[in-house]
């Protein structure tokens, strides 16, 4: 028995009818989504509180408001995004119309996770709807209360011939994935990401995979420990650590660790009080399974801050671990909880090596005040001009690459970490902010994912960019150059017409 066949057939027929193509229809869907958020704000906040003990502040800032901003952005820019994009022409195509047309793919599937169940369901949905697709939404079964609202309330705000919510666990999702979709957008862990991509491969379905990893957080010796501790603590314990871009572990020297620890304690106490368990600002773990997993990690290394847990409440205290070994579970899997291990390194080079030995993470953080040595500042431009620059570890540092990071705002240590590592996104001396910008593409690389979205990137993700060339009929004489029997003279003239240089308009 295939529970999805009818729904999918219905949606495909709706797409085939062309209903989702006009801008008016898409705008109406987006407005519907906006009304859903406004009308049900309290309902959603209650659901998030129930699912994750999420405070109203976190719910507003990281879920509801973000989704609203994306809807408004899409509504404001819909027609601009939908427009055909002209491309530069050459001499041979002056009379033609050449452009890229954005088209919906058709029937798209969005599989969403439980940690930001509103944001990570609705923000991709905005892109899919704006791009003119029919959408199947599969919210996470773990965030039950939110799932209920998405299944029962959301559809009333959208055209249900073009939109459906399907429910279920891994088995149902597996069954769903046997069907052909025209795009699959998946947010979750790498293990399931592989399964999704393998299923998509059977139908040659393109995918975006927003996965995760262990996001390193390098803390330089030259920093203000309290500032760093505040930021790192906030990003780590936000949503009780259940954030794919949270710093997963800290890399720093033993000295810096000594200064960081009291600062982290101060930050935690300031944020969550003496008894974090009673703070309304701190979340809870989503499920018993994850709680037990995290409780197991508390046995790694040595607890220096926190370490308390309570199964009845799925509560884990904001925790810091030290003396952790690379081989311990806490350094092997993505933590996804309010536990922060600190790993010692003796230098920036060692930190960079450590990071590069591992899978490319979704996010990478570096905290430093440090600018380079004054004498080196004089030498470096000369060096860069004449000699490749070798780093301390004997690595060739790339040079002559035009970069934005030549602004005085960016400390040199931070720039080095950026230059010598790779990750989905990077933040120097800060945390989440880069994710709040709709103008930055949000996505992973390597094991942390493929594809990106937010803002226009979402629209582009869910669109096929179709290259089009429209020629007026006739004018056959001109085009006869290319026909056989082939001659060298004709070839020369054709090549001239194809040259890109001609599009500088000097010839016309």
Residues annotated catalytic, as ranges: 210, 244
Interface region with a copy of itself, contact rule CB under 8 A, candidates 118-126, 170-178, 324-332, 422-430:
422-430
Residues numbered 168-197 forming contacts with a copy of itself, rule: CB under 8 A: 182, 190, 193-194, 197
Which residues does residue 107 pair with via DSSP β-bridges, in sequence order?
A: 134
Report if residue 262 touches a copy of itself, rule: CB under 8 A.
no
Rounded-to-integer distance, Cα 474 and Cα 233, Å: 69
Number of Cβ within 10 Å of residue 42's Cβ equals 9
Residues numbered 43-62 forming contacts with a copy of itself, rule: CB under 8 A: 55-58, 60-61
Which position has the token pair 């430093």? 368
Residues numbered 84-123 forming contacts with a copy of itself, rule: CB under 8 A: 87-90, 92-93, 96-98, 100-101, 103, 105-106
Window 338-367: contact mask with a copy of itself (x via CB under 8 A): ------------------x----------x
Report H helices in 215-338. 225-237, 254-272, 288-297
Question: Minimal distance in Å, beta carbon 131 to a copy of itself?
Answer: 13
Rounded-to-integer distance, Cα 154 and Cα 163, Å: 10
Report if residue 281 touches a copy of itself, rule: CB under 8 A.
yes
Question: Minimal distance in Å, beta carbon 369 to a copy of itself?
Answer: 4
Interface region with a copy of itself, contact rule CB under 8 A, candidates 112-120, 265-273, 327-335, 339-347:
265-273
Q: Could you write out the DSSP letters of every residue in 341-368?
A: EEEE-SSHHHHHHHHHTSPPPSEEEEE-
Which residues does residue 109 pair with via DSSP β-bridges, in sequence order?
A: 136, 184
**Tokens linked to 404:** 């934005």
**Tokens linked to 491:** 């070839």
Interface region with a copy of itself, contact rule CB under 8 A, candidates 31-39, 45-53, 333-341, 399-407:
399-407
Q: Which is nearer to a copy of itself, 156 or 482 (CB)?
A: 482
Report if residue 17 touches a copy of itself, rule: CB under 8 A.
no
Q: What are phi and psi of 419, to 5 degrees?
A: -70, -30
Report if residue 227 touches a copy of itself, rule: CB under 8 A.
yes
- Strand pairing category for 363-367 and 216-219: parallel
Report if residue 308 touches a copy of itself, rule: CB under 8 A.
no
Q: Which is nearer to a copy of itself, 153 or 503 (CB)?
A: 503
Contact assessment for residue 64 and residue 41, using Cβ atoms and an 8 Å cutoff: yes
Q: Which is nearer to a copy of itself, 79 or 292 (CB)?
A: 79
Q: Which is nearer to a copy of itself, 133 or 309 (CB)?
A: 133
Interface region with a copy of itself, contact rule CB under 8 A, candidates 42-50, 292-300, 322-330, 497-505:
497-505
Rounded-to-integer distance, Cα 181 and Cα 505, Å: 44
Q: Which is nearer to a copy of itself, 156 or 270 (CB)?
A: 270
Number of Cβ within 10 Å of residue 202's Cβ equals 10
Choose among 309, 367, 317, 363: nearest CA to 339: 317
Interface region with a copy of itself, contact rule CB under 8 A, candidates 144-152, 275-283, 331-339, 342-350:
275-283
Number of Cβ within 10 Å of residue 283's Cβ equals 26
Count of residues touching a copy of itself (by CB under 8 A)? 134
Candidate residues 14, 78, 324, 418; the one interacting with a copy of itself per rule CB under 8 A? 418
Report if residue 480 touches a copy of itself, rule: CB under 8 A.
yes
Counting every residue written for the chain, the total comes to 508
Number of Cβ within 10 Å of residue 505's Cβ equals 9
Report if residue 12 touches a copy of itself, rule: CB under 8 A.
no
Window 447-476: contact mask with a copy of itself (x via CB under 8 A): x-xxxx-----------xxxxxxxxxxx-x
Choose among 367, 342, 427: nearest CA to 223: 367
């Amino acid at each position: 028995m295939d529970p999805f066949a009818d729904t999918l057939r219905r949606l495909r027929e709706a797409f085939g009818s062309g209903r989702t193509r006009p801008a008016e229809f898409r705008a109406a869907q987006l407005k519907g989504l906006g009304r859903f958020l406004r009308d049900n704000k309290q309902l959603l906040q209650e659901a998030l509180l129930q699912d994750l003990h999420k405070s109203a502040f976190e719910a507003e800032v990281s879920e509801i408001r973000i989704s609203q901003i994306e809807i408004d952005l899409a509504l404001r820019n819909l027609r601009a995004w939908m427009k055909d994009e002209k491309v530069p022409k050459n001499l041979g195509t002056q009379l033609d119309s050449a452009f890229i047309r954005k088209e919906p793919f058709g029937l798209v599937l969005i599989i969403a996770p439980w940690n930001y169940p509103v944001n990570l369901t609705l923000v991709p949905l905005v892109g899919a709807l704006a791009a003119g697709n029919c959408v199947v939404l599969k919210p996470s079964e773990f965030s039950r209360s939110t799932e209920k609202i998405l299944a029962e309330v959301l559809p009333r705000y959208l055209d249900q011939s073009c939109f459906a919510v399907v429910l279920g666990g891994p088995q149902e999702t597996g069954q769903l994935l046997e069907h052909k979709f025209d795009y699959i957008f998946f947010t979750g862990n790498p293990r399931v990401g592989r399964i999704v991509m393998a299923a998509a491969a059977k139908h040659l379905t393109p995918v975006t995979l927003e996965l995760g990893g262990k996001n390193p957080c390098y803390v330089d010796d030259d920093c203000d420990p309290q500032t760093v501790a505040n930021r790192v603590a906030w990003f780590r314990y936000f949503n009780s650590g259940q954030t794919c871009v949270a710093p997963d572990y800290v890399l720093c020297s033993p000295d810096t660790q000594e200064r960081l620890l009291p600062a982290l304690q101060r930050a935690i106490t300031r944020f969550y009080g003496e008894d974090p368990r009673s703070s309304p600002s701190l979340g809870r773990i989503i499920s018993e399974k994850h709680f037990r997993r995290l409780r197991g990690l508390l046995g790694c290394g040595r607890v220096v801050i926190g370490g308390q847990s309570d199964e009845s409440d799925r509560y884990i205290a904001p925790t810091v671990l030290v003396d952790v070994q690379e081989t311990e579970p806490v350094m092997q899997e993505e933590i996804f909880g309010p536990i922060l291990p600190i790993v010692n390194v003796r230098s920036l080079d060692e930190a960079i090596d450590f990071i590069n030995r591992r899978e490319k993470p979704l996010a990478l953080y570096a905290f430093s005040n440090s600018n380079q040595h004054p004498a080196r500042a004089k030498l470096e431009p000369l060096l860069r001009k004449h000699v490749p620059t070798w780093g301390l570890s004997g690595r060739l540092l790339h040079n002559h690459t035009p970069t934005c990071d030549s602004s005085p705002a960016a400390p040199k240590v931070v720039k080095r970490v950026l230059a010598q590592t790779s990750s989905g996104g990077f933040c120097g001396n800060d945390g989440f902010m880069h994710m709040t910008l709709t103008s930055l593409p949000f996505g992973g690389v390597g094991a942390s994912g493929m594809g990106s979205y937010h803002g226009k990137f979402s629209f582009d993700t869910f669109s096929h960019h179709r290259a089009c060339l429209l020629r007026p009929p006739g004018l056959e004489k001109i085009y006869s150059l290319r026909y056989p029997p082939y001659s060298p003279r004709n070839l020369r003239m054709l090549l001239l017409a194809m040259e890109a240089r001609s599009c500088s308009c000097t010839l016309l």
